[in-house]
Amino acid sequence: MIDQKRYRKIKRAAEKCFNCFATRNPLKILNKLEVPCSIIDLEGGLNGFTHMNQKGEPWVYINKRYRHDDLSVRIIAAHELGHILLHSESDVNMFEEDTDFSNKEYEADIFVMELMPKIQPYYRDYTTFSPEELRKYIYSWIC
């Protein structure tokens, strides 16, 4: 779990996106931020990832198996946008096991929920979900 101060920072980042760009569509936000987003073949069950080039500029990649499902693509794009906005100052390596990586994944998932409130559950406040429960809930929306 994260503390309330960090949660408020994540919530403000999502609100700022909506206020600045007048949309909750992460693909449109990435476009307005001039962050390229490519749909490619990814192996190993990877839904998407963000690569920072040598100049420190992000590029989002989304697994092509979701190319026909707009909602799945937007959820994955929102997660990656969360990483860009919240974690750009640090190196996130999804291929190494560490707690910092898990916390960053959880924060990116919270960003998804705040940017895209239509997917929030009606039966329970998502902020009471453990990181694993939130991850499973978000995955339930991805076809």
Enumerate the H helices of the chain as residue ranges: 4-21, 26-32, 70-87, 99-115, 131-141
User: What is the per-residue pLDDT for 45?
Assistant: 84
Residue found by looking up tokens 């100049």 in the block: 55
Per-residue pLDDT of the chain in tens (143 residues, 90 and over written 9): 789 999 999 999 999 999 999 999 999 999 999 999 999 999 888 999 999 988 989 999 999 999 999 999 999 999 999 999 999 865 454 544 445 668 999 999 999 999 999 999 999 999 999 999 999 999 999 97
Backbone φ and ψ for 54, nearest 5 degrees, come out as -65, -20
Sheet arrangement for strand 48-52 = 37-40, 58-63, 48-52
pTM of the full predicted structure? Answer: 0.91
Residues pairing with 52 in the sheet: 58
